[in-house]
Amino acid sequence: MAGEAKNLISIADLSKDEISGILSLASSFAEVLRRPVKKVPALRGKTIVNLFLEPSTRTRMSFELAAKRLSADVVNFSSGTSSIVKGESLKDTAKTIFSMGADAVVVRHQSSGAPQMLTKWVDCSVINAGDGMHEHPTQALLDLYVMRERMGGLEGLKVAIVGDIEHSRVARSNILALNKVGSKVLLCAPRTLLPAGIEEFGVETTVSLDEALGWCDVLYLLRVQAERIEGPRFPSLEEYHENYGLSEKRWDKLEKKPLVMHPGPMNRGVEIASSVADEVEPSIAGQVAAGVAVRMAVLYKLLSGSVSSERFEREQ
Amino acid sequence: MCLLEERGGFSFVCALSLAVVAMGFRARAKILDSDDIQRILKRVAHEILERNKGSEGIALIGVRTRGVHLARRIARAIEEIEGGKVDIGELDVSLYRDDISIRPTPDVGVTNLDFDVTDKKVIIVDDVLYTGRTTRAALDAITDFGRPKVIQLAVLIDRGHRELPIRADYVGKNIPTAGEERVKVSLEEVDGVDMVEIGEGELS
Amino acid sequence: MKDVKDEEILVKGGRLLGCPGGLRAEGDILIRGERIAGVGRGISSRGRVIDARDCLVAPGFVEMHAHLREPGFEYKEDIESGSEAACAGGYTAVFCMPNTDPPIDNQAVAQYVFARGKEVGLSMVLPHGAITVGTDGKNLAPMSEMARCGANVTCFSDDGNSVSDSEVMLRAMEYAATLGGLIISHCEDKSLSRGGQMNESYFSTSLGLEGIPPEAEEISVFRDICLAEKASARLHIAHVSTAASVELVREAKKRGVLVSAEVTPHHFSLTDSALLTSYDTNLKVNPPLRSAQDVKAVLEGLADGTIDVIATDHAPHAPHEKEVEFEKAPFGVIGLETSLGLVVTKLVDSGILSLEEAIAKLTISPARITGMERWGYSTTLAEGDIANFVVFNADEKWTVKPEGFRSRSKNSPFLGWELKGRVQSTIFEGRVVFERGEVFPGA
């Protein structure tokens, strides 16, 4: 009963029940992380390759820790040190990794769709750890986990996502996930950062941050990705902060403070004033902590019940 | 939820389930009724106290799901006999099982040990002892939480067919079984009634 | 050796398309040497007989937009493999775009391509010349020199490097008109399409790929129509893909602007939604696959005659170039060997065009626009014409498979599709160059 290699490429591939399944599994793993020995032998003998072809610290560490807490062997493969810089194609890299007997590849890539392509070239599980402007499914799952823990539920929850929607894979994954679990989503950005056809995702949009603040239970701030913004999107970071930054003035004025979330790393003084950032720091640290439990849940769900290493040995 | 008595005997269960596809458990005989179970648990409580010379330092850790309820009942019995309180924990051994890579993803349940096991006299409580694999997983899990002074094993039913060198310290009842037979334990807290039956087919 | 001049081939029992009067009558065609020696019923011959029962016979197709990659990119395609693909697709004339290395921006390269095509002898291979030197959009290429040489270049295009400087484009049109030539424009405002990977829409947002807005094409179509109108010059718009582009061409034609337009089979067969979840780089083309509304408008443009020509924009790329991240993959798909099947399946069967109208867009229209009469190339199947024609079964179904392609590259977006309409034989200059899957190289 060798199952098909199981992948996590997009939130779109998950049903509402699968999302809740992962979130409850994550609660069990959060308990493991509170134990004296924060490690269980669940994935002993499995090999997980972290293929990070775009700079990343927190996601890579989070996946690495998650894999190690499950007793899997982890191999890191990042852009600076890999043969990709020597001109090796992604396809050849993928084949090499698979020949080494990997059970899963966790891939971060600057090109949208790269993880999807990997699934054609390798026979092991592929987990998308962020691809271009496409998706970052485990980030959305951990965000939902935090929202559920902090707000008591997701159904009907009002979530405002603010900032560079166009270039944000985090926004796309969160929109899809929040829609599936019955939360309401309002996107807030200048029109230059709202991508084509976004209303077809079943979300509302506004250009007014104050409107979003007055409405939401959860305020999700996106990082202004200066490195992805090409051409004239807004005149300056100062002007962006003026209109779309969570300033001290805006924050203090709020009677009902929403839960503030951010995928990190924060640009203080751009999407959030430094003093406000300090105030909401604990909840953002909570996101990071939840990341390990959620990624353990994802790895466990994809790799338990799979026999890819045995299949690999048979094929040799 | 499917309770495959000893969760370890996977290959066997798998082969069997192929043979009895879509057929549920068919009971052939009732072995224990509610009163029997009450008496057995009281006896086990006495044996535990006798062997450990009192309730001092005793912690009962039930293996989910039915083992947890049995642990609570034994604890209650001990408290009735001795007074005083014993620690009770719940243990889910899913993450320590040795068949994770061949079994479809199981649910991972709650583990709740809100006491330090180090230097405790830990007694693992489970409903049925079969291959011994669940007990092995429980031993590994518990030792990851600390270093108990001693670990003992209490089971309601021992049905034989061990695959590991494991033996129970307290046995409610030995029931010799054939491999294809099934022992079904029902407890009031989970199933609404207390009884133990023997029969064939998949337990559900 | 037998005298080739007297050798006879009889194509018997097919229904003839494109003969004077446009009737679809059953008839035989007798070929003697390189010419048609007789058209009619009940012709007999002692020579070779090609059974054309159940088949249609049409003038050989004219491809006015292909990339045969030679010189410079022979690992993708060369004139030989490209000619094989052409005759397998029913084409007896292929125009190739100048984005080779070196580019076709002078008579030497033009002459090389032309001569190489003749040497291979499976189809006419005719180069389009570059508008500007090195197709860099700055200085006019020696158009007259290219026109005067043996290749007799009369159509000029910078293809994918569309001329961004409006004055250069205006002067190019004026100068080409001076020579009686034609400017073919790949319409793309690069300042709007920059970085784009696919049509800008819900789907590009969903896939996280940079969008190419329809306006990038439309602005450029509008500009080039304005310039052609001012210059009173002929203009051909390559691969029209959006609804507004079709409308701009329609209006311009009404005003009497000397503009013609083409569409590719992939643009009338596929929409941007095809990319969803697959990231199939064989769906990466420029202009990109557009929305369902755009495809509908393109079909209307084909039906009402706004769009004159069906051209494939045959653009071979090697597997290692396409099997990469979507953003790294080059634009383009092959098309020579699937065009007839797509025309029958998507246009004729669905009632958009009659078979005669559809075939005219593969034959008469491109031949007229590119001035094929100067080569004595006929699209009438009349006695005395050079025998360039195709015998095809419009009802035969077949499945597109990579191993079935004659092209060196396999980058088709239609792999696995079942198409209706298949070429049985192709006759080029009186010789059977393709029959039932086999190519017969020149004598």
Size of interface A-B (CB pairs under 8 A): 61
Kindly give the pairing relationship between strand C182-185 and strand B150-158. unpaired
Question: The tokens 């790294």 sit on which residue?
Answer: C328
Which residues are paired to C9 by β-bridges?
C31, C48
Q: Distance between the two ends of chain C, CA-based, in angstroms?
A: 11
Secondary-structure breakdown of chain C: helix, strand, coil percentages, each rounded to the nearest 5:
35, 25, 40
* Interface mutation target, options A20, A40, A294, chain B, most CBs of B under 10 Å: A40
- Give the pLDDT band of residue A314 (cuts 50, 70, 90): very low
What residues in chain C have per-residue pLDDT under 50?
Answer: 1-2
- Structural domain including A21 reads 11-135+291-315
Do C328 and C345 contact (CB within 8 A), yes or no? no
Residue A231 burial (C-beta neighbours within 10 Å; 0-12, 13-18, 19+): exposed
What residue in A sits closest to C319 (Cα-Cα)?
Answer: A91
Instruction: Give the pair of three-digit tokens for residue C16.
Output: 């003839």
What mean pLDDT do residues A100-104 have?
92
Size of interface A-C (CB pairs under 8 A): 75
pTM reported for the whole predicted model: 0.89
Residue A225 lies in a domain: yes
**Structural domain boundaries in chain C:** 4-57+384-397+419-439, 61-375
Chains C and B touch (3+ CB pairs under 8 A): no
Q: Which residues of A touch C211 (CB under 8 A)?
A: 195-196
Residues A62 and A110 in one domain: yes
Q: What is the pLDDT at residue B5?
A: 40
Count of the separate structural domains present in chain A? 2
Omega before A265 within 30 of 0, i.e. cis = yes
Lowest mean pLDDT among A92-106, A290-304, B94-108: B94-108
Q: Which of B100, B112, B145 sits opposite A42 (nearest CB)?
A: B100
Which residues are paired to C82 by β-bridges?
none
Instruction: Give the pair of three-digit tokens for residue C81.
Output: 């493999």
Residue A202 lies in a domain: yes
Residues A162 and A21 in one domain: no
Question: What is the predicted ipTM?
Answer: 0.92
Residues A147 and A268 in one domain: yes
Do B104 and B75 contact (CB within 8 A), yes or no? no
Helix (H, G, I), strand (E, B) or coil at C232: coil
What mean pLDDT do residues A243-271 have?
93
Fold of C4-57+384-397+419-439: Urease, subunit C; domain 1 (2.30.40)
Instruction: Give the pair of three-digit tokens for residue A146.
Output: 């935090």
At residue A255, φ and ψ (nearest 5 deg) are -75, -50
Q: Is the dihedral of CA A88, A92, A94, A100 positive or negative?
A: negative
- Give the integer Cα–Cα distance in Å for C361 and C265: 12
Residue C418 burial (C-beta neighbours within 10 Å; 0-12, 13-18, 19+): exposed
Residues A80 and A189 in one domain: no
Residues A51 and A96 in one domain: yes
Touching subunits of B (3+ CB pairs, under 8 Å) are A
pLDDT digits 0-9 by tens, B130-188: 999 999 999 999 999 999 999 999 999 999 999 999 999 999 999 999 888 899 999 99
- Give the integer Cα–Cα distance in Å for B31 and B25: 15
Tell me whether residue A86 is one of the annotated catalytic residues. Answer: yes
Give me the catalytic one of C28, C105, C308, C313. Answer: C313
CATH superfamily, domain C61-375, is Metal-dependent hydrolases (3.20.20.140)
Q: What is the pLDDT at residue A275?
A: 94
* Interface mutation target, options A108, A111, A126, chain C, most CBs of C under 10 Å: A111
The torsion defined by the Cα of C47, C51, C57 and C63, in degrees rounded to 10, comes to: -80
Which residues are paired to C132 by β-bridges?
C140
Q: Identify which of C39, C45, C127, C44 has the alpha carbon closest to the alpha carbon of residue C79.
A: C127
Residues A155 and A88 in one domain: no
| CB-CB neighbours of B84 under 10 Å | 11
- Give the integer Cα–Cα distance in Å for C267 and C189: 19
- Give the integer Cα–Cα distance in Å for A153 and C300: 51
C46: which residues sit within 8 A by CB, 6+ positions away? Answer: C8
- Give the integer Cα–Cα distance in Å for A202 and A205: 10
- Give the pLDDT band of residue A98 (cuts 50, 70, 90): confident
At residue C152, φ and ψ (nearest 5 deg) are 45, 55
**What Å distances lie between residue C301 and B112, B118, C294, C297, C310, CA to CA?**
71, 82, 10, 6, 12
Is some CB atom of chain C closer than 8 A to the CB atom of A233? no
Give me the catalytic one of A60, A69, A136, A172. Answer: A136
Residues A275 and A311 in one domain: no
Residue A258 lies in a domain: yes
Give ∠ CA A182-A188-A191 in degrees, rounded to 5: 130
Packing angle of the helix pair A58-69, A137-151 (nearest 10 deg): 80
- Give the integer Cα–Cα distance in Å for A39 and A292: 12
- Give the integer Cα–Cα distance in Å for A224 and A264: 10
Touching subunits of C (3+ CB pairs, under 8 Å) are A
Q: Which residues of A touch C320 (CB under 8 A)?
A: 89
Is some CB atom of chain C closer than 8 A to the CB atom of A116? yes
- Give the integer Cα–Cα distance in Å for C193 and C216: 6
The per-residue pLDDT of chain B, averaged, comes to: 86
Residues A147 and A284 in one domain: yes
Residues A305 and A241 in one domain: no
Residues A123 and A52 in one domain: yes
Do C113 and C124 contact (CB within 8 A), yes or no? no
- Give the integer Cα–Cα distance in Å for C90 and C422: 9
Do C212 and C200 contact (CB within 8 A), yes or no? yes
Q: What is the pLDDT at residue A100?
A: 87
- Give the pLDDT band of residue A286 (cuts 50, 70, 90): confident
- Give the integer Cα–Cα distance in Å for A68 and C15: 73
pLDDT digits 0-9 by tens, A159-205: 999 999 999 999 999 999 999 999 999 999 999 999 999 999 999 99
- Give the integer Cα–Cα distance in Å for C255 and C131: 26
- Give the integer Cα–Cα distance in Å for C206 and C130: 38
Q: What is the pLDDT at residue C404?
A: 95
Q: Which helix (H) or strand (E) holds B40?
A: helix B34-52
Residue A128 lies in a domain: yes
Q: Identify which of B164, B168, B152, B170 has the alpha carbon closest to the alpha carbon of residue B41.
A: B170
Tell me whether residue C6 is one of the annotated catalytic residues. Answer: no
Q: Residue A76's domain is classified under what CATH number?
A: 3.40.50.1370
Tell me whether residue A58 is one of the annotated catalytic residues. Answer: yes
Contact C204 A89 (CB under 8 A): no
Q: What is the pLDDT at residue A77?
A: 83
Which domains are assigned to chain B? 10-200 (3.40.50.2020)
What residue in C sits closest to A112 (Cα-Cα)?
Answer: C208
Residues A147 and A266 in one domain: yes
DSSP single-letter state for residue C402: G
- Give the integer Cα–Cα distance in Å for C172 and C183: 8
Residues A105 and A243 in one domain: no
Residue A279 burial (C-beta neighbours within 10 Å; 0-12, 13-18, 19+): middle
